[in-house]
Structure 1
């Protein structure tokens, strides 16, 4: 059976003049190719199909000044090579309510509280995409499906680059999150996030925030240039960081709050302006084979906090390598090198 192919072009004979016209005639599984140009339309996708830019000769921009540019309420839709733009301050550019929106090589730019939203029964799968949003978050996920973002860049956002909330589930792999005014990645509620091989730079708030009862597995994450804090860990659920690095924080690198017991394995902290790892009252982290370099205080444990360290190296501490301020520290294989302090 031949797949139906529909062409959209404002000036080509036999083509549909608008994407909406093509959608009205499209059947399940259709391929709609769109010629380069700007299309001022708001699209409602309610059947499985593919919407793709024609060739590589120019930009296909779909823009809406009112409401979402694309609303998905279908089993599965593929969007390829498109630029989606929205200027409505209340509506996300891409609103995924049901089914899976698979985006490949797309650019999404918005001005609302979120550029991309996956909620209810919606699932997003982004690959090689770019997301910007001067007013709000880049990607917000509250749905419990297999949401995934790979090889993508989220930058210049007004709040957090990625938010996983409520019962949302998201895998973030090989991405770059740059210059978010809020968090790089924020996981809260009872959400679950897996973040791998991702670089987060220049966050205005904690680059990583895992709160409430959220679960997070962070592997090979590189954080740099945070304004005041690299990682803020307060979740009472399981949080594991493996092979992560935190460089040049304007304040503390890692702060562990009350009720949280994260595990940090083979993590490296360097150049934080204050503490490398700060354990607040009620925090109970475990550090395994971690290294802290070039900070005034390597590890600080406040009264009521407890840290277990199995293989900790602190280099170049200018004030104190390990400071148990009436807190509890269990040390196994501690090494201090080159510090000017205690």
Structure 2
């Protein structure tokens, strides 16, 4: 019988990406707050109770690293950017384009010099940390620096950068410092597991295979290689010099909004530099559909790094065939050692507050299903 390494830090053999379906009580409270019917303090009280309830459910289902479900956020990424100094919430010219629908049109606009002091996510982390059982780890999810750069480089946002910065390089330097400030504050608050969520690589993979999908705002096929370099450089600039006991993983996403998606294409084009050069401990990768391509690019992941194979979809409540998932894990192990693989959903269950189209019971059944498979494969 094969002996596998026992996981004591993230990623664990069965894991989740981060977000969970918002309970109706929380959705109602957010709507009431938006309409001025309850105060911020009253909304926070509802959020607190819903997060405490979620933590209990995560622990009951056997998760070793839990999150707050991103219950205090509207978006998986924008709320983090809105929490930076010098950044404000703004209307976008168009929402994010998904396969079947277009999202709400919101973005983050630079309105001054960017910095990371007093970020609200630090207090959010402290609350979650204070309510877990002994031995349970808290995973903090934030958008990657590359994702932030991509958002700020949207045409309607570039004017703000030009108003306060002499060059994009100067802006990027402040963005790196802002991330360093937030991550440092999270670390001092006790955070030891950080996940950088990143849709930029999925977009580049799609645009390389399908140039017709490239947005018509200043990006062309010849710029994709430059974007690859820019994204890995800014991610690594933030990752450089972090404490040795801070585990940093990344989730590479192809879009997850109301059970639809935005990008297709394998990891072949982005494997170098993503797998070969990005200084993370593990890669959470989407593999729940044919849009993900093959496992061959996993051969470029260094043997000392982990791959969390997202074979179970969060977009549907229907359970997959267990034998088929195990076969897929065996296929992935031809390109990266099985001892360095883990299993998770391909993405969160609710990357935005709208949530995917499945029930809460189906959501937890998915997590139990992943645990069952992991225990069968790795013991």
Considering the TM-score relative to the shorter chain, is it more than 0.5? no
Larger Rg: 1
The structure with the largest strand share of the pair is 1
Structure with greater helix share of residues: 2
Q: Relative contact order: is structure 1 or structure 2 higher (C-alpha 8 Å, sep ≥ 6)?
A: 2
